[in-house]
A and B are shown apart, each in its own frame.
Chain A
Amino acid sequence: MEAKYLRDPQDVLRIALEWCDAGKSIAIATVVRTWGSSPRPVGSNLVIAEDGIFEGSVSGGCVEGAVITAAKKVIKTGQQAILKFGVTNDEAWEVGLACGGEIEVLVERVE
């Protein structure tokens, strides 16, 4: 059997589709913009299911926890969210990127 391999980010999206097909409610997080040094490029995906399981990444592990928390809310409300990390501002996100970069992440529910 020849295995079919997909390249990142399709391999992560394929997992998202498998979860959808299995009846899970899921959200997809995507890196929209990066400033300075950041571990994952624009277009990188993290997929999150309502039960908290996840695959992929939007950073080197620095902000995934916060994205997953936000994703659970997005799955519940259906309202997409845009999160910024690494910026000094008064947003509720108190996690930052150790590398000193900044990233913006779109979190959307799969309908």
Chain B
Amino acid sequence: MKQNVLAALIEAGLEARAVVLVRNLADGEQFLVDRVGAYKLEEGVRKSIDSEISRELLERSQGALARDDAQAAEIGGQRYLIQTLSPPPRLFIIGAVHIAQKLIPMAHLAGYEVCLIDPRSAFASIERFPSVKIVNEWPHEVMPKLSLDSRSAVVTLSHDAKIDEPALQAALESDAFYIGALGSKKNHAKRLERLGERGFDGKRLARIYGPVGLPLGGRSPAEIAIAILAQITQARYQKVV
């Protein structure tokens, strides 16, 4: 592998762009593929090589990109490793509470890019949350701007309906692969009732995991964070084939 290709892969990851690295296993020849096409880097400049590779290899590579997977493939008598390098999945935490302080480093370790949302700047302060992106805005204002997608997870922890529920509403209107809401069974039932009044039917509301987290029985903020992250992990691999 060439060092400039390695640098390009890291750069794509930091810019949240997915890219496919294709290697010929016999001769070590390699190139990159993205939505636009196949290319090599010549002195840092992109040079299209669409005309130099087979249609099948390009299609297989762009298929891997769409599915976010890695595979070995035999095409035209040659063996290739087709490897997608994707940007991290995103976790949006609403509520800068004690559990969030424990959940954030765990989610970072699990490979998530984390964004913490809480309009109360006394809660969501850099002193309390030194290593995460903090958004001091109301969820109903900021959530629609976040382009939540099928690689996004949303968990509400604030215990305050006027902060949590607009966030849940935005999540329900998106393709987020996980939506979790902290709160007792009783509170959750009331919450579903209120969201129901805003036009979400039972099927749509069933996407919300509440009370949040796998039933591990833990009680401390860190233990609850483990239960939440475990459930997010489970949801991610149940839905991504």
Interface residues of A (CB under 8 A from B): 1-11, 13-14, 16-17, 20, 28, 30, 32-33, 41-43, 80, 82, 104, 106, 108-111
Interface contact B10-A10, CB-CB below 8 Å: yes
Bound Cα distance from A2 to B131, whole angstroms: 5
Q: Which of B108-116, B117-125, B196-204, B212-220 contacts A (4 or more CB under 8 A)?
A: B108-116
Q: A5-B111, A6-B13, A82-B25 in contact; A111/B3 too (CB < 8 A)?
A: yes
What is the distance, in angstroms, from B30's C-beta to the closest C-beta of chain A? Answer: 9
Bound Cα distance from A79 to B72, whole angstroms: 20
Chain B, interface size: which category?
Answer: 20 to 34
Q: A2-B133, A5-B108 in contact; A108/B3 too (CB < 8 A)?
A: no
Bound Cα distance from A82 to B23, whole angstroms: 12
Interface contact B89-A13, CB-CB below 8 Å: no
Q: A42-B72, A110-B6 in contact; A7/B25 too (CB < 8 A)?
A: no
The total of interchain contacts (Cβ-Cβ below 8 angstroms) comes to 83
Interface residues of B (CB under 8 A from A): 1-3, 6-7, 9-10, 13-14, 23, 25, 28, 69-72, 81, 83-89, 108, 111-114, 130-133
Beyond known contacts A110-B2, A111-B2: 8 more, CB 8 A cutoff: A3-B132, A7-B86, A16-B6, A20-B3, A43-B69, A43-B81, A82-B25, A106-B81
What is the distance, in angstroms, from B126's C-beta to the closest C-beta of chain A? Answer: 9
Interface contact A5-B9, CB-CB below 8 Å: no
Dominant SS among interface residues on chain B? mixed
User: Which among B6, B71, B72, B112 is the interface contact of A5 at CB below 8 angstroms?
Assistant: B112
Q: A17-B3, A106-B25, A111-B3 in contact; A7/B131 too (CB < 8 A)?
A: no
Q: Which residue of B lies closest to A80 (CB)?
A: B28
Query: In the assembled complex, which residues on chain A have CB atoms less than 8 Å from the CB atom of B113?
Result: 5
Interface contact A110-B1, CB-CB below 8 Å: yes
Bound Cα distance from A1 to B126, whole angstroms: 9
Bound Cα distance from A17 to B11, whole angstroms: 11
What are the 9 A-B residue pairs with the smallest beta carbon separation, nearest first? A43-B70, A7-B111, A10-B13, A7-B88, A42-B70, A43-B83, A33-B72, A3-B131, A6-B13
Q: Which residue of A lies closest to B88 (CB)?
A: A7
What is the distance, in angstroms, from B93's C-beta to the closest C-beta of chain A? Answer: 14
26 examples of A-B residue contacts, CB within 8 angstroms: A1-B130, A2-B132, A3-B108, A3-B132, A5-B88, A5-B108, A6-B13, A6-B14, A6-B111, A10-B9, A13-B6, A13-B9, A14-B10, A16-B6, A20-B3, A28-B6, A32-B81, A33-B72, A42-B72, A42-B83, A43-B69, A43-B81, A43-B83, A106-B25, A109-B1, A110-B6
Query: In the assembled complex, which residues on chain B have CB atoms less than 8 Å from the CB atom of A111?
Result: 1-3
